[in-house]
Structure 1
Amino acid sequence: MPALKRLRFDRHEFAGAFGDIGTDLPLIAGILLATGLDPAGVFIAFGLAQIASGLLYGLPMPVQPLKAMAVVVIAGQASGAQLQLAGLMIGALMLALAHSGLLDRLQRLIPVLVVRGIQAGLGIALARTALGLTGREGNLGWIAAGAAVAVLVWLRSHQHFPGALVVVGAGALWAAFARIDWNVISHGFGLVLPTPAALPWDQWAAALTLLVLPQVPLSLSNSVIATQRTVADLFPDRPVTLRGIGGTYGVINLLSPWLGGIPMCHGCGGLAGYYALGARTGGSVVIYGALYLVVGALFSGAFQEVLRAFPAPVLGAILLVEAGVLLLLLREVPRTPLALGIAAVVALVCVFAPQGYLTGMIVGCILFYSLRRWLPAPARPAG
């Protein structure tokens, strides 16, 4: 069945559309505040990428800011123009890897057990971020986040009242009546079109070393290999290929700078978040992208007020649920102490080691191939 025919736009897809907002919104806000990039271009490019992903895959296939690059830029170590140039470079690299077949070879070498560890590591990292967001609001934040998580879990399978709609709706009402300065919003309203980035071609070496190289291992492990595995876990009847994921990753980043956008990728955490909140088709991603389009085209002049107003505890609660879905994938690990131990080591290395995802992938492969004779048959390479 063609992907377009799978799209739905019901209340469950609308609820699931907010499954990745807890990751995306803080990163985009940090990048904009650190670089001074045009908010219209960033939001519009991000929204168009979401819509394209939903239409192409027919799945809640997320598009996210590139995390390693975002961290460097938010820390003030690279400029916005260098960030956009780096996106162009990594897009070309990923497209080459996808169409050369190297991604498929990597998948055959990396055991499922190691991929599970990477997924769990990302789950732990998301949980840490969620706790940090929740703590910003003090005791009230902890109470609100706890209540939001309880509602999300309680209504996770409810046919008429999806939990995410209740939680996000309550957060939006809280923002509208208690946090938003509508005078600022009204003055920032107006149609704005994106402008192409002015890329600093003479700074390619700095972009490569500061931004591209640190991002590559995270993209290979989480954005491509773990995302493909998570699709197989959650949507076994709708498989996607590594070449397809790497190809859309590459094309999105080759196009984004010409709209003034930032580098983007897919991600298993976002996929888990959409799924956890009820999304089952690409309609959720289309809805999510449309929201960014509206904000970018009409409200980019007031983006700081919009970003400040949305309650951090709601973002934290969504991230916690997203983290839970990833951690529950450890149930697929063979129930032996050695297999669980390897997955746990990979997860902890991903979270705490420098270049954690690359290091975790390497450490996990070394442990697996050194000890494979003592592991049960299901713990074999992902291919």
Structure 2
Amino acid sequence: MALFTSSFKHNVQTLKDNPLGEIAGSLGDLGTLLPLMTALAAGGSISLTSTLIFSGVFNICSGAFFGVPIVVQPMKAIASIALARQLSLKETMAAGIGVGIVVMLLSVIGMIKKAADMIPLPIVKGIQVGAGLSLCLNAGSMLSNLNLNQSKWDDNLFWAIGAFSMLYGFSRQSKFPFALLAFLLGGIFAAVDVATSGGSLPAFGFWWPFTLTIPTADEFATGFGTAGIGQISLTILNSVIAVRYLSEDLMPTRPAPSVTALGISVGLMNLTGCWFGAMPVCHGSGGLAAQHRFGARSGASVMLLGLVKVGAGLAFGESLTGLLQRFPKSLLGIMVFAAGIELASVAENLNSTARDLLSPTSAALGTERSRSAVYASLRVLTEREKRERFLNMMVTAAMMLASKNTSVGFLAGVFFWALLRLQDRMEDYGDARASFAPLNEASALLGR
């Protein structure tokens, strides 16, 4: 209750102080949400109406409870497999329900918390860097089909260059509402494109999302077996553990959500919405980085987005699919790129002010005031420690990108870390033997 009260006060005060930033920040994650949600809806793998309404409600609840811009975004592994294998709606729902059950159980019994306490911070940051660079690669694939001579006036490389110039030309103006301007411009372009090409504009009406979807045993086996199992590790590492650490890095003056609370939240969302055809969702470090990059500093931002989603779902529902499909990739791609850079930039403090370098007392103070106040309590690293921590992070990120699998990157980072610890043990053993060498020599002389 105390957390909810604190979050409510923070949300209200932040919205009063910086309303434009909260509004613009709320749109930061659209570059991830719109393409996947639209493609899944067009392929019949999800219900767009249920997705908008349920994910909107989840946005409102997470913003109100956590008090920081914790996003609600698609489960990417499930989405990619559902699109590639053309999974049915019930199979996709089964995947989300299965992941929700597993993550919920692991959170309740405390396994995720134990994992978060045990995983070295360079590996966590490696996962964040890998996820950020992966977003940049996704942005590149969005922009790869655009060119300067394209006849499509509303979606070409000129708009991408213009958006990039505006994004970083105002990079020192933290309150510049880039995401809001890009969204409004993209919405206008999409509407004009639909109207001029003879498509159907969204139709106003009342859309009801509560149509129960119950997968059969075969559908559950297919959906969870092909798409759900691969999502579990990604959700735990990037949507729970990495989100907690990223929240601490980006907003050190706010209490970071616990991994247990984040895991339970992911479980509840999927065990609620997926029964009605809503897209399997999770929290994500990339989405948090994106919303923060575009101005969000409280839960008010995601609550505003949630209200818009609920309203759009109830009023327009499935008729929005055609409009969303026409949203310019030139603008979406730059938004995704910016989110990736923001997420990857958390590596900056690995060897300077990272949480594992703070004393326990300093770490506690860091949740209440700026970490600049506790720099004196930082552990000083040797040059070798700095180099090895950086390498551990980069090995994790690089293997994650090379394999296109978060679990492989994580295991590579753990293996690298274990090899370093083994070398430490061998060096300690060698030093111990060297320290006893004079005693052994003395014993040998006495023996003569």
1:87 aligns with 2:93: no
Query: Is residue 347 of structure 1 aligned with residue 356 of structure 2?
Result: no
Q: Distance in 1 between matches of 2:244 and 2:195?
A: 39
1:54 CA displacement: 1.1
| Cα deviation digits, residues 297-339 of structure 1 (max 9, x gap) | 1222422321123211111111111111112112122373332
Normalized against structure 1, the TM-score is what? Answer: 0.91
Q: Which residue of 2 aligns with 1:2?
A: 6
8 Å contact from structure 1 (residues 156, 277) kept in 2 = no
Q: How does 1:208-357 map to 2 (within 5 A)?
A: 208-238=224-254, 239-334=256-351, 336-353=386-403, 356-357=405-406
Distance 1:125 1:167 in 2: 22
Structure 2 residue matching 1:236: 3-state secondary structure: coil
Matched AA of 1:188: A
Closer/same/farther in 2, CA of residues 178 and 206 from structure 1, 3 Å limit: closer
Question: Structure 1 pair 181/55, CA: closer, same or farther in 2 (3 Å)?
Answer: farther
Q: Is the 8 A contact 1:121 1:348 kept in 2?
A: yes
Asked if 1:18 corresponds to 2:27, the answer is yes
Deviation digits for residues 221-249 of structure 1, max 9, x if unmatched?
A: 10111111101111122221111110111
Which one-letter code corresponds to 1:87 in the other structure?
G
CA contact (8 A) 2:396 2:412 kept: yes
Letter in 1 for 2:336: L
Aligned to 1:2, the other structure's residue is in SS state helix
Structure 1 residue matching 2:43: 3-state secondary structure: helix
- Deviation, 1:208, is 2.7
Quote the residue 1:363 is aligned against.
Answer: 412
Q: Residue type matched to 1:224 in 2?
A: V
Distance, in Å, in 2 between the alignment partners of 1:374 and 1:21 is: 45
8 Å CA contact 1:68–1:214 kept in 2: the answer is yes
Change (3 A) 1:180 1:132: farther
Q: By how many angstroms is 1:144 displaced?
A: 1.4
Q: How does 1:187-226 map to 2 (within 5 A)?
A: 188-203=203-218, 204-226=220-242
Q: Report if aligned partners of 2:26, 2:296 keep a CA contact under 8 Å in 1.
A: yes
Q: Is residue 147 from structure 1 mapped to residue 167 from structure 2 by the alignment?
A: no
Aligned-residue CA RMSD in angstroms?
2.2
1:220 positional shift: 1.2
Count of aligned pairs: 374
**CA deviation map 1:48-102 (0-9, x unaligned):** 1112111111111001111101111101253210111221222121111111110
Letter of the 2:273 counterpart: S
Q: Equivalents in 1 of 2:201, 2:281: separation in Å?
A: 30
Aligned partner of 2:118 in structure 1 is 109
Check the 8 A contact 2:139/2:336 in 1, yes or no. yes
Quote the Cα distance in structure 2 between the aligned partners of 1:113 and 1:180.
50
What amino acid is aligned across from residue 345 of structure 2 in structure 1? L
In 2, Cα distance between equivalents of 1:100 and 1:330: 31
Q: Which amino acid aligns with 1:313?
A: S
1:332 to 1:99, Cα distance in 2 relative to 1, 3 A: same
> Is the alpha carbon distance of 1:124 and 1:248 closer, same or farther for their aligned partners in structure 2, counting shifts above 3 Å?
same
Separation in structure 1 between the aligned mates of residue 45 and residue 83 of structure 2, nearest angstrom? 11
User: Which runs of no fewer than 5 residues in structure 2 stay unpaired?
Assistant: 151-155, 352-382, 425-448
CA distance in 2, matches of 1:183, 1:55: 41
TM-aligned CA distance change 1:110 to 1:180, over 3 Å: farther
Residue 265 (structure 1) shift: 0.3
When residues 270 and 263 of structure 1 are mapped into structure 2, their CA distance, relative to the original with a 3 A threshold, is same
- The alpha-carbon distance between structure 1 residues 78 and 159, as it changes in their structure 2 partners (threshold 3 A), is closer
Corresponding position of 2:79 = 70
Gaps of 5+ in 1: 376-383
Contact 1:89-1:212 at 8 Å conserved across structures: yes
Highest RCO, 1 vs 2 (Cα 8 Å, sep ≥ 6): 1
Residue 26 of structure 1: CA displacement?
A: 0.7
**Which amino acid letter does the alignment assign opposite residue 30 of structure 1?**
A
1-structure distance, mates of 2:106, 2:247: 20
The aligned residue for residue 359 of structure 2 is none
Does the aligned pair in 2 maintain the 1:164–1:277 contact within 8 Å?
A: yes
- Cα deviation per residue 1:348-375 (whole Å; 9 max; x = unaligned)? 2112215x11111111011112214779
Distance (whole Å) between structure 1 residues aligned to residue 164 and residue 66 of structure 2? 29
Provide the TM-score with structure 2 as the length reference.
0.78
- Residue 130 (structure 1) shift: 0.7
Aligned to 1:138, the other structure's residue is in SS state coil
TM-fit CA distance, 1:186: 5.1
